[in-house]
Amino acid sequence: MPYPQERPRRLRRSAAIRRMVRETELRVTDLICPFFVVGGRNIKTAVPAMPGICQLSVDNLLQEVKELQVLGLPAVLLFGLPGRKDALGSGAWDREGPVPQAVQALKDAYPELVVITDVCLCGYTENGHCGVTQKGQIQNDLTLELLAKIALCHAAAGADIIAPSDMMDGRVGALRAALDGEGYSEVAILSYAVKYASAFYGPFRQAADCAPSFGDRTTYQLDPANGREAMREVVLDLQEGADLLMVKPALPYLDIVRRVREASSCPLVAYNVSGEYAMLKAAAERGWLEERRAVLETLLCIKRAGADLIITYHALEAARWLWAEER
């Protein structure tokens, strides 16, 4: 009979004991902060569905990243909004575009900062799809050639890690070959290996102005019903040379985070996406949730599920709270 000999509450009696037996720890070094970068100067445009998040011009981005640096946050993930869009998304590999400009400025100002760039076409194509469209179809292999141009543009600007989020087949291998061919063998690839066709990207599409104008992304992103298929994507991306793997979204997919963790020793990143952020913010604004506790618990639980790193729009606030806790 376990009870009364067994009493798990003995180890919950005091804060000091609870701390000693705590299994998972959330650290500021686990967090990656996303940013939306635009051209021009002194621009700071709020994103209505993501309270606290703004589209920033490079000068303002440098200011915001300064605080992150002080708090010890190691990495940023950059998304760009181009001045113009076209059928091929050519703004994505424009060296004068917001992302390469931001990469250069950040690396100059903060050499230690790890700069990760999103590689995708959806913010740059007229129809908002992640690949090139011909006859109403997303063209996989043609898209790979364009993604390679984007990756090289970001690498030339000084990006440490490129993160393809388009979900075309074969993109990790194509990008690895392109980078190596141009002398960028040290640039790492963070693969959105497991990216689901999710409703939780809604607010992001407002922030990055990339909602598809027809159809949806179900011909390239994974079906939320599928778990085994996630494992297939992981195997393929590792074979193609991914250095880090990502599962996205995070919260409704923590079972997938756990499965990928168990299947691979590769560093694992979970993306706590815009819709997950908006839900907590909305509830907190109404006083329905205690924001700080809810955010820190959410991030901790994503780690407990198996993620090494978390991309989150809560990064700056969470870093402030963690920083204060450590003192």
User: Where do contacts with ligand PBG occur on this chain (CB under 6 A)?
Assistant: 118, 120, 122, 130, 165-166, 201, 204-205, 210, 217, 273-274
C-beta of 120: minimal distance to ligand PBG in Å?
4
Shortest distance, position 85 Cβ to ligand PBG, whole Å: 14
Q: Residue 18 burial (CB < 10 Å; 0-12/13-18/19+)?
A: exposed
User: CA-CA distance, 161 to 176, in Å (whole number)?
Assistant: 11
**Cα angle for residues 201, 151, 168 (degrees, 5° grid):** 50
Residue in 235, 269, 275 with CA at minimum distance from that of residue 252: 275
Residue 90 CB, nearest distance to ligand PBG (Å)? 17
SS3 53: coil
Which burial class, exposed, middle or buried, applies to 169 when counting CB atoms under 10 A from its CB (0-12, 13-18, 19+)?
middle
- Say if residues 129 and 122 touch (Cβ distance below 8 Å): yes
Q: CA–CA separation, 298 vs 310, rounded Å?
A: 11
Residue pair 238/190 in contact by the 8 Å Cβ criterion? no
CB of 192 to ligand PBG, least distance (A): 7
Residue whose CB is less far from ligand PBG, 35 or 201: 201
Least Cβ distance, residue 183 to ligand PBG (angstroms): 27
Query: In this complex, which beta carbon is closest to ligand PBG, that of residue 167 or of residue 188?
Result: 167
Task: Map residue 191 onto helix, strand or coil.
Answer: strand
Helix ranges (DSSP H) in 158-227: 171-181, 202-207
Taking the complex as a whole, how short is the minimal distance between the CB of residue 326 and ligand PBG, in angstroms? 27
Q: Which two tokens stand for residue 73?
A: 């946050």
Which three-class secondary structure state does DSSP give residue 84? coil
Nearest residue to the partner ligand PBG, using Cβ: 204
Q: Give CA–CA dist 257/195, Å, rounded.
A: 11
Token duo for residue 155: 């690498």
Pick the closer one to ligand PBG by CB: 57 or 143: 143
Report the residue number, 205 or 292, with the smaller CB distance to ligand PBG: 205
Question: Which are the catalytic amino acids?
Answer: 195, 248
Residues 195, 231: Cα–Cα separation, whole Å = 12
- Our CB check for ligand PBG shows the closer of 122 and 244 to be 122
Nearer to ligand PBG, 55 or 274 (CB): 274
Helix 315-326 vs helix 58-71: angle between axes, to the nearest 10 degrees? 30
